[in-house]
Amino acid sequence: MKCPYCGFAQDRVVDSRESKEADSIRRRRECERCEKRFTTYERIDEIPYMVVKKDGRRERFERHKVLSGLLLACRKRPFTPDNLEAIVDEAETYLIDSPDRERTTSEIGELIMNRLKAIDTVAYIRFASVYRDFTDVREFKEELERLLIAKDQTAKRRVPEPPPRKPQRRPQ
């Protein structure tokens, strides 16, 4: 915190108090150079994080909406609540890291789908079918074919492990 009197950046907190409304903290500080005192206020950042919908509307990011979508996609799949929380945490962190305090729903959706694809393809397909708004079976089939092609390419890139070596007998 720069001193308002001399501009020096080093100070010490002399006193801290919560405001009457409990929505901020008042701090009395003393400059380490000129020794003058000044007051600062610490408040919670109240500007919400926003998502930009496909139609251009902006809405407040709601963590529980993302989690409820994941719960539906991952129903009866081998996911723990911690797995789902981690995916939602990552999506929220991605939004928080945005310099504009907003991201498009397509960016967030792609991030979630990439995580699901790496963990469980059934949950991925379920999420993608709602997120990408598949309108018929053909679109569903095309997405499944893309998944199978990607899986085959990944399998071809793997180097097979050599067979286990048989122990050799030593002459006695």
Segment 137-166, tens digit of pLDDT: 888 788 888 888 877 777 677 655 656 666
pTM over 0.85: no
DSSP-assigned beta bridge partners for residue 29? 13, 38
Helix-, strand-, coil-residue percentages of the chain, each rounded to 5: 45, 20, 40
d(CA 40, CA 84): 39
Segment 8-58, tens digit of pLDDT: 999 999 999 987 777 789 999 999 999 999 999 888 767 789 999 989 999
